[in-house]
Structure 1
Amino acid sequence: MTKRSQAVITTAEERPRDGWNDPVHGRISWHTLLSSDITPTDSMSAGIAELGPGDELKPHRHDPSEIYFIVEGSGIVRIDGEETTVRAGTTVFIPGNAEHGIRNESGAILKFFYVFPTGSFADVVYRFPEN
């Protein structure tokens, strides 16, 4: 019998904070909200990420496409070398394998909701350029 997805209602406060703080990845934290390894869901994974003032998720690639929805603050998204200013209310579609990153050049927190079309966030393999 195939396990069926279930409805899930959750908050960031209910999920552990994860993140990176190093020269390769940059400085970013996130809460994985939906992922088949932690919730009874499939086909999509999602979470909410936060960049403090001056923080950055360094340019990287991964196979699945991704969506960012800017919830709070403003920043600069770079996709395949093109930079665009984003602010609360902006939606960004990032094609699979496009090199992309996001940085916060403001003095306030930048929060964004992200979604991948894969059941488990663990299936998303981040590939960063060699230093």
Structure 2
Amino acid sequence: MADKPLVTSARERERDGWDNPERGTVSWYTLVSGDITPTSALSCGIAEFEPRKGILKPHRHDPAELYHILEGQGILTLEGQERTVTAGDTVFIPGNAEHGIRNEGDAVLRLFYVFPQDRFSDVVYRFPDAG
């Protein structure tokens, strides 16, 4: 499939996610990914974390990643260091850096994420407690 210009929205995409002790409780909408859009080189989406419940457990993956916080606030763990992130913050996560994020607040935490991968499904998440 050749690359084509694209305008898309979470309203057009299916919600996916995890709710398990090893990975966490998070949902997301994949917006751009070569398996669902006529695109390559990047994949991205919007992740949502419920108030006081949402968490993406610390993990690693080969590609770098970018987070841009859209709404709410969360506690980001990056290579063992914790930091509060709020709407408007952007985080660069180097490839293979251990990272995670959790929502301890009273509002939904929403973030936009980007990978330099053709397909989101090609990103292999490695969780230390997942066996």
Overall identity of the aligned pairs, in %: 60
How many residues are matched?
129
Q: Give the Å deviation of 1:4.
A: 2.6
The alignment partner of 2:121 has SS state of helix
Indicate whether 1:109 and 2:111 are aligned.
no
Paired with 2:72 and 2:3, the residues of 1 have a C-alpha distance of 33
Matches within 5 A, 1:1-131: 3-54=1-52, 55-130=54-129
* Aligned amino acid, residue 74 of structure 1: Q
Long gaps (5+) in structure 2: none
Moved beyond 2 Å, runs of 4+: none
CA deviation vs aligned residue, 1:28-84 (integer Å, no higher than 9, x gap): 000000000000000000000000012110000000000000000001110110111
Q: 1:27 is matched by which residue type in structure 2? A: T
**What TM-score does the superposition give when structure 2 sets the normalisation length?**
0.96
CA distance in 1, matches of 2:33, 2:125: 16
Cα distance in 1 for partners of 2:12, 2:104 equals: 29
Amino acid of the structure 2 residue aligned with 1:16 = E
Deviations 1:82-125 (A, max 9, x none): 11110000000000000000000101000000000011001100
Other structure's SS at 1:28 match: strand
Unmatched segments (≥5 aa) in structure 1? none
TM-score, normalising length: structure 1: 0.96
Alpha-carbon distance between aligned partners in 2 of 1:41 and 1:110, rounded to the nearest angstrom: 27
Q: Distance in 2 between matches of 1:93 and 1:71?
A: 15
CA positional deviation for 1:20: 0.3
Whole-angstrom CA distance in 2 between matches of 1:108 and 1:45 = 26
CA RMSD of aligned residues (A): 0.8
SS at match of 2:11: helix
Distance apart, 1:24 and its partner CA: 0.4
